Structure 1
Amino acid sequence: MSDGRRELILEELGLAPCWVRRELLTADPAAVEPTPVIAAPPPSAAIDAAIDAVIAPTQTPGGRPSRMAQIMPAEKPAEVQSEQPVAVATGPDKRALAIAQLDWPALQAEVAACTACSLCKSRSKTVFGVGKPDADWLVVGEAPGAEEDRQGEPFVGQAGKLLDAMLASVDRSRQENVFILNTLKCRPPQNRNPHPDELALCAPFLHRQIELIKPKVIFAVGRFAVQTLLGREASIASLRGKLHDYRGTPVVVSYHPAYLLRNMPDKYKAWQDLLMANKTLEKHKD
């Protein structure tokens, strides 16, 4: 991505740099307009440390500490939080087992025809997902909104525009190298929170999608997405900044774009999460 395009995207996200180019400086300091103070980006070593604690070895083949181990702080480094996905149901579940055997076209058809919970009565369209089915970056959201319900595609409203801008800032897009889906495939009425039984009945679809996509990193936004993937209830703030694990795949937790539209100061935190996901992907490829 060109520097000019990246600067425009960062400015749109409210993350424009706070420095002034040398050539813009004049002999008269008063001639330079003051620049708003924005927190400086986090040291790359801080993000590298959290990722390398999961992916990079701490010793070389000869037994000597690796370079990353030498620069890591003395305290215990960030570790993968190993959690099990939320149980779909107790006892044998023939429906979940059947879904786990479906290929991609059959899974799409099963989602479109699903009547497992009452959400099928109020939906306009199911929302299966959008993007490249073999993408190495997967975004998992919560539930469709009104516009998603009308179009049958996730993240197409204002929150979707913000998500697209966020992804573009790290050279990602739903058209080229990202797949985007929601935990629930149907919209809850009046955008209410999903009920536990709705999440449980939809979870087999989510798990099968991830198994077929085989992403190298999952970017989970919103507490219901995180709850379903990691099998635990905790605040997004407490889960950010560290890598988690979903069946062997690194998971980076962040705020939902709809939340960011209402809480603009947290956009910078979401930018940090994007950087962590991007660096995780780069190191996973090495």
Structure 2
Amino acid sequence: MSSSARHEGVSLEEIRTQVQACHACPLADGRTNVVFGDGDPHARVLIIGEAPGKNEDAQGVPFVGAAGKSLSKLLAIAGLTREEVFIANVLKCRPPGNRNPRAEEIEQCTPFLRDQTRAIDPEFIVTLGNFATKYILKTQVGITQLHGQLQQIGRFKVFPIYHPAAAIYDRKKQAALEEDFATLGELLKK
């Protein structure tokens, strides 16, 4: 089934409306914006990153700053642009200072990500980083073991990759990131 046939009638505004309830959630306290996602709601590829930080909160858009520039360059390796994918955050309302969410906080945000995923209905879900990978795959196995290995979860193909910020702090991960995004590009051609 073609992407346009699967997504007939789904708009970015509809997806935005679905997650506006995040502001009613106590986890949203201190947030300026709901950072729900960005890109093409008809995308074959859904990219799930970590919870938004203060720059994302200020702008209401995921992946801004150095990690955002890095992601754009890595997407180009896969033959993609930010406009051709949909980027979601795992815990869209997590307070900026909360770097270690509790299980019950994660559970509160699960329905919003699930609804977002169903509305977009991607072919591929790319998880960026350890937290997103464990969250989507429901595993305790870390990103170091799983990156670059295609997984099948229900009808979705899940492709774990290091978070782009990892290369900012650990230059050794840059080659792995580039290789994994090149592999993603090859998978998308099939």
TM-score, length basis structure 1: 0.59
Matches within 5 A, 1:1-286: 105-115=13-23, 117-175=25-83, 177-190=84-97, 192-283=99-190
Aligned equivalents of 2:60, 2:96: Cα separation in 1 = 15
Q: Is the 8 A contact 1:135 1:178 kept in 2?
A: yes
SS in 2 for 1:204: helix
| Structure 1 unmatched ranges of 5 or more | 1-101
Q: Is the 8 A contact 1:149 1:187 kept in 2?
A: no
Shift in CA distance, 103/207, structure 1 to aligned 2, threshold 3 Å: farther
Cα deviation for residue 252 of structure 1 reads 1.0
The total of aligned residue pairs comes to: 181
Aligned equivalents of 1:246, 1:105: Cα separation in 2 = 27
Q: Is the 8 A contact 2:23 2:93 kept in 1?
A: no
Partner residue, 1:41: none
| Structure 2 unmatched ranges of 5 or more | 1-9
Aligned equivalents of 1:223, 1:205: Cα separation in 2 = 20
Moved more, 149-158 or 244-253: 244-253
Aligned equivalents of 2:122, 2:95: Cα separation in 1 = 27
Q: Is the 8 A contact 1:222 1:256 kept in 2?
A: yes
Cα deviation for residue 111 of structure 1 reads 1.9
Partner residue, 2:7: none
Q: Is the 8 A contact 2:143 2:162 kept in 1?
A: yes
SS in 2 for 1:205: helix
Cα deviation for residue 112 of structure 1 reads 2.1
Deviation readout 1:34-85 (Å, 9 max, x if unpaired)? xxxxxxxxxxxxxxxxxxxxxxxxxxxxxxxxxxxxxxxxxxxxxxxxxxxx
Cα deviation for residue 190 of structure 1 reads 2.1
Identical residues among aligned pairs (%): 40
TM-score, length basis structure 2: 0.86
Cα deviation for residue 270 of structure 1 reads 1.0
Please say which structure displays the higher CA radius of gyration.
1
Cα deviation for residue 103 of structure 1 reads 8.4
Q: Is the 8 A contact 1:216 1:281 kept in 2?
A: no
Aligned equivalents of 1:160, 1:254: Cα separation in 2 = 15
RMSD of the alignment, in Å? 2.0
Higher percent of residues as helix? 2
Cα deviation for residue 171 of structure 1 reads 2.1
Aligned equivalents of 1:162, 1:191: Cα separation in 2 = 24
Aligned equivalents of 2:13, 2:148: Cα separation in 1 = 36
